Amino acid sequence: MATHILVVDQPEFWTGKLPEGGVVASREYLTGLPKRGKNGDGRGVRVINMCRGYRYLSTGYYTSLLAEARGHRVIPSVRTIQDLSRKSIYGLETEDLDALLQKRMAKIAPGLTVTALELYIHFGHCRMPPLGDLARQIFETFPVPCLKVEFKLQGKWRIASIKPQAPALMPEDELPHFLEAVHGYMASRWQPKRASQPPRYDLAILRDPTEKMPPSDEMALKRFIKAGKGLGIEVELIDRSDYARLAEFDALFIRETTAIDHHTYRFAKKAQSEDMVVMDDPDSILKCTNKVFLAELLAANKVPTPRTLIVHKHNLETIEAQIPYPVVLKIPDGAFSRGVFKAENRIQLNEIVAKLFKESDLILAQEYLYTPFDWRVGVLNRQPIYVSKYLMTRGHWQIYEHGPGGQAKSGGFETIALEDAPPEVVKVALAAANLIGDGLYGVDLKQSARGVVVIEVNDNPSIDSGVEDVVAKEGLYKAIMGEFLRRLELRHGR
């Protein structure tokens, strides 16, 4: 029997309305000890996230993010939250739903005198029986406790918008139906989302020619093109203006710095919806670009990291109690050492967290471990493909130092043969990367007298000519293009 947790950010509103014992305040869920199932892990724990909103980096967003890191089954998932953040993303999923809407409205439209209609969907149920099967399909596509869907007559009836609805803010006459649906859903089995169908061939590399610190330089991109051609894959460089063309290709390789609220994620999402082979896939972007999620995921799976705390405005005092100065403070979705700060004392700590809390409801505090270099292990399909050392910038505590004008300088590097890498470094790197998936990752680690610890896992690791390819040379590019080919041929049953 599953353990249910209903996470809310207004517990007083739900008193007497929801099953006793299962309601947990969001603050308690985010910072308390993770709930365990009967197997001693997160399996068997079902989380219903009923926070007032799910905007990026909000409490509702973090609730779903940490639920996934803990192995809890949660609705809405972070991916669903992101899918519903823009119509340009969820619109990819609504064509079949629009067709069903046409059929249902043809039966009930003669009695309507309106050109727009709102429908509240509670766990797949609605108050208009003729639209019941449509409501179920919308919920199966976008599993959210309560959805507000707007239909408009624009020549044909279409889905104009699909938005998560905060249960505590819904119309009063909808609340009894929502509460009934909650009880029914808790007694039901969770059904997996149906898999998509496989496609055909041709690879696009998404890059930004103007990016100052791209994951791959121009020479590396040329070597990817050459390696693909040698394997019978046509490779074309595209940029964000080619979004409408994406379905022309069979695979997408993102060589542009990724972020959630960014066109790179939308490209990955569309590629996946077209059933293309894609790296980075949307789930890897979601997991890797948020350091809070990574911290919780690594801790839940006992992968060694520096001492780490998830911090909100109400538990700042725990930083000094548990981590000695200097303390490293991180915004959740920084890249290339951006959004990472070091506080030497209480005054600096207060200044930094005040700035970071303007951007995110949660930040990360981490123990500072000085090492003269960081290890980077490149991982592809759960196997190491390169090992590099990145040296700290001269006179600085990070491998990248960002200047006030946007310029950045970095330390030196050394790429070594896989067989010469410390076995423990590679072992820990694989343990971390394999928690994310089977894509292409770069795991950053530190090695000291205390052992090897993971700093972060990057979904979009640097592969530059003359750096990561020093040992493997053309073989590194062939290995990555070869993995695309393998996945494409698997989809074609070859």
DSSP 1-69: -PEEEEEES-HHHHTTTS-TT-EEEHHHHHHSPPP--TTSSSTTEEEEE--S---TTSHHHHHHHHHHH
pLDDT band at 398 (very low <50, low <70, confident <90, very high): low
Print burial letters for 278-313: b (CB count within 10 Å at least 16), e (below 16): bbbbbbbbbbbbbbbbbbbbbbbeebbbbebbbbbe
Range picked from 179-188, 191-200, 257-266, 325-334 for highest mean pLDDT: 257-266
Topology of domain 203-288+480-491, CATH? Rossmann fold (3.40.50)
Give helix 291-300 / helix 423-436 axis angle, nearest 10°: 110
Question: Given this model, what pLDDT does residue 22 score?
Answer: 79
pTM over 0.85: no
Q: What is the 3-state secondary structure (H, E, C) of 313-375?
A: CCCCHHHHHHCCCCEEEECCCCCCCCCEEEECCHHHHHHHHHHHCCCCCCEEEEECCCCCEEE
pLDDT band at 66 (very low <50, low <70, confident <90, very high): very high
Question: Given this model, what pLDDT does residue 37 score?
Answer: 56
Over residues 15-23, the mean pLDDT reads: 79
Residues 118 and 339: their CA atoms lie apart, in Å, by: 41
Residues 187 and 248: their CA atoms lie apart, in Å, by: 44
| Stronger pLDDT, 264 or 213, i.e. the higher one | 264
| Stronger pLDDT, 138 or 290, i.e. the higher one | 138
pLDDT in tens, 444-475: 999 988 899 999 999 999 999 999 999 999 99
Share of residues in the chain with pLDDT > 70 (%): 88
Question: Given this model, what pLDDT does residue 36 score?
Answer: 62
Name residue 116's beta-bridge partners. 152
Contact 374, 399 (CB under 8 A): yes
What residues does each domain of the chain span?
3-80, 87-186, 203-288+480-491
Question: Given this model, what pLDDT does residue 3 score?
Answer: 80
pLDDT beyond 60 at 401: no
Contact 235, 205 (CB under 8 A): yes
Over residues 110-129, the mean pLDDT reads: 87
Other CB atoms within 10 Å distance of the CB of residue 53? 14
| Nearest CA-CA partner of 430 in 447, 442, 418, 421 | 442
pLDDT beyond 60 at 397: no
Question: Given this model, what pLDDT does residue 168 score?
Answer: 82
Question: Given this model, what pLDDT does residue 197 score?
Answer: 40
Name residue 119's beta-bridge partners. 149
pLDDT beyond 90 at 260: no
pLDDT band at 199 (very low <50, low <70, confident <90, very high): very low
69 alpha carbon, distance to own chain's centre: 11
Sequence-ordered list of residues with C-beta below 8 angstroms from that of 89, at least 6 positions apart, any chain: 82, 83, 266, 269, 270
Alpha helices in 84-236 (DSSP H): 87-90, 95-108, 132-141, 175-186, 218-230
Sequence-ordered list of residues with C-beta below 8 angstroms from that of 333, at least 6 positions apart, any chain: 57, 259, 260, 289, 290, 291, 339
Whether residue 209 has a cis bond before it, omega within 30° of 0: no
Over residues 46-60, the mean pLDDT reads: 92
pLDDT band at 19 (very low <50, low <70, confident <90, very high): confident
Range picked from 94-103, 182-191, 285-294, 433-442 for highest mean pLDDT: 433-442
Sequence-ordered list of residues with C-beta below 8 angstroms from that of 74, at least 6 positions apart, any chain: 46, 47, 48, 49, 63, 64, 67, 68
Q: Tokens standing for 272?
A: 């996946």
Over residues 268-293, the mean pLDDT reads: 92
Residues 228 and 222: their CA atoms lie apart, in Å, by: 10
264 alpha carbon, distance to own chain's centre: 12
Q: Tokens standing for 115?
A: 């050109």
Question: Given this model, what pLDDT does residue 336 score?
Answer: 45
| Nearest CA-CA partner of 178 in 45, 44, 13 | 13
Share of residues in the chain with pLDDT > 90 (%): 57
When the pLDDT of each residue in the chain is averaged and rounded to a whole number, the result is 87
Question: Given this model, what pLDDT does residue 333 score?
Answer: 72
Over residues 113-134, the mean pLDDT reads: 91
Residues 119 and 269: their CA atoms lie apart, in Å, by: 26
